[in-house]
A and B are shown apart, each in its own frame.
Chain A
């Protein structure tokens, strides 16, 4: 390679390159810092509280020294599952519809509409939850308030729709056209082609969509906090007030002194959320690698 002239043009080029590399390194450092700081703060809970108690007891009353976070973990998992059960099939139906059935003009309306769903701030979802959905869940669960896992699950189901729809649609659209043609040429109906050929072939992408939707649901804070009822009660029914990891952090963070065991316990809950998010990213990478091998 010929030696470039060492002019300012050359040095500018080097400088720009170093700036770009350092920005990239900085992005990596940030995630490490977050894991480190939140992790250290959270794990210091276990200086005072036993690991076993934190994860297996559902008695959370820090005033009397009881730090069992099982209620919040169960609440988070419960609401996320409800959200996926309600929003997953509907979102997948929307994706199949957009990729295979929708006439172009319907698609031209529905794509921006789902984008609009994604743009609505989560407090606004919470606001709609309080004004409308809680009244609806009060009726169907026969509970006194309507706040609880079902209300949170319904709000989350709507919030994850855009994630499920757009990622699954992308997965369906990226399949080679020959799959569909071969199936239709063999005499299969459109539905048989969708259900037996296209959806299975796109399953790694659809799985990715579902996992990312779950990650969004479990980490969602404001909307859930507004409709969950915020009582540290184990979620034993769909319509009784309870708490999730995120809602409890919002409720108690302001009232606890920084560095106390109670406060550290809240950071531990955030660390659990962070670890769940990281595990989901690894799952997504495995799913997409499997998809690439196919």
Chain B
């Protein structure tokens, strides 16, 4: 009965592996939240070393990068899903999207530095940072758009086109609304990734915070929360409570990730429910 013993043994090992993975995550979360949550007070945000500027910059840069990448990413995704014929040109675009997705973020950072900091001579700016961050978002947006549009049943398109609608009308009135839950999930995914990105922003948005609170000037330097955590942890300034700031910032970042992960599942489920209800009615 050697085979059965091996079977038992392997099953136990696989269970142990799975439990180890889960335990690792639980350990991560308890460690980070346990160390950081006590520091998340009003003082942490608005005190003299407060991070409200970084928090604002994180969302401001995220917002701008989505403005840059959403139209292009959605457009390219729509083209790949609805228009693209099976030929070399399409294959080339698919290859370049996949390549773009595999580019290490530090390479994006250096590219953004060549273009925005040096060629355009802007220096470290929120504008340059968010435009470079948009490049990171692009391939994921293209893929997610393509996948959600492909999940729309063929019959929807055929019905709309047969009624005499143009392709654009079909897209706007039938395909995009049906694919909306998938698109929103994808955009949330992109946003979560962009919020935690560091390597790109060090080289393009810099490591300074504007002295003006909630500075919306896109040509100012803008340190984000993630960059701030890197700065205080790798070059702690003497005489500051940098360890506490790092603990608090890490906990804040993790809280943001958890909220985004919840957002990832909730609205798409709700939308799906609502849309399905509508179709039936």
Write the residues of chain A forming the contact surface with B, with a CB cutoff of 8 angstroms: 4, 9-10, 12-13, 16-17, 19-28, 30-34, 37-38, 41, 90, 93-94, 96-98, 101-102, 106, 109-110, 112-117, 119-124, 126-128, 130-132, 158, 161, 165, 188-192, 194-195, 212, 215, 218-222, 225-226, 246, 249-250, 253, 258, 266-267, 270, 273-274, 277-278, 280-281, 284-285
Contacts and interface: CB of A to CB of B under 8 A. Distances in A.
B28 A128 contact: yes
B114 A127 contact: no
Contact of B110 (A20, A30, A38): A38
Contacts of B31: 128, 131-132
Interface of B: 3-4, 6-7, 9-11, 13-15, 17-18, 20-22, 24-25, 28, 31-32, 35, 71-76, 78-80, 82-84, 92-93, 95-100, 102-108, 110-111, 113-115, 118, 135, 138-139, 142, 166-169, 171, 192-193, 195-199, 202-203, 226-227, 229-230, 233-234, 246, 250, 253-254, 257-258, 260-261, 264-265
Contact of B79 (A20, A112, A130, A192): A20
B106 A250 contact: yes
A215 B99 CA distance: 11
Nearest to A102: B18
Given A23-B75, A94-B17, A253-B203, A31 B100 contact: yes
Dominant secondary structure at the B interface: helix
A277 B106 contact: no
Nearest to B22: A113
A110 B18 contact: yes
A121 B97 contact: no
Nearest to B36: A127
B167 A121 contact: no
Given A17-B167, A215-B102, A267-B110, A124 B79 contact: no
B233 A127 contact: yes
Nearest to B189: A119
Given A23-B71, A116-B261, A249-B110, A123 B14 contact: no
Contact of B76 (A26, A94, A191): A26
B18 A94 contact: yes
A194 B3 CA distance: 13
B118 A258 contact: yes
B233 A226 contact: yes
B138 A30 contact: yes
B20 to A, nearest CB: 7
Contact of B4 (A130, A189, A225): A189
A32 B96 contact: yes
A119 B260 contact: yes
A23 B14 contact: no
Given A127-B250, A274-B104, A274-B107, A23 B115 contact: no
Contacts of B9: 191
A30 B78 CA distance: 18
Contacts of B102: 212, 215, 277-278, 280-281
A195 B114 CA distance: 49
Q: Which residue among A109, A110, A284 has the maximum number of chain B CB atoms within 10 Å of its CB?
A: A110
A34 B102 CA distance: 12
A198 to B, nearest CB: 13
Contact of A13 (B71, B104, B138, B167): B167
A37 B132 CA distance: 14
A90 B108 CA distance: 30
Contacts of A267: 110, 114
Given A115-B261, A121-B226, A270 B110 contact: yes
A246 B106 contact: yes
B248 to A, nearest CB: 11
Given A30-B138, A93-B14, A158 B114 contact: no
B7 A191 contact: yes
A24 B84 contact: yes
Counting from the closest, the 8 A-B pairs by CB-CB distance are A219-B104, A121-B196, A23-B75, A93-B17, A189-B7, A20-B79, A13-B166, A191-B10
Nearest to A91: B21
B257 to A, nearest CB: 4
Contacts of A222: 198-199, 230
Given A120-B254, A221-B104, A274-B104, A24 B230 contact: no
A125 B98 CA distance: 26
Nearest to A222: B198
A123 B230 contact: yes
Q: Which residue among B97, B198, B226, B254 has the maximum number of chain A CB atoms within 10 Å of its CB?
A: B198
Given A13-B169, A116-B258, A124-B196, A97 B18 contact: yes
B79 A119 contact: no
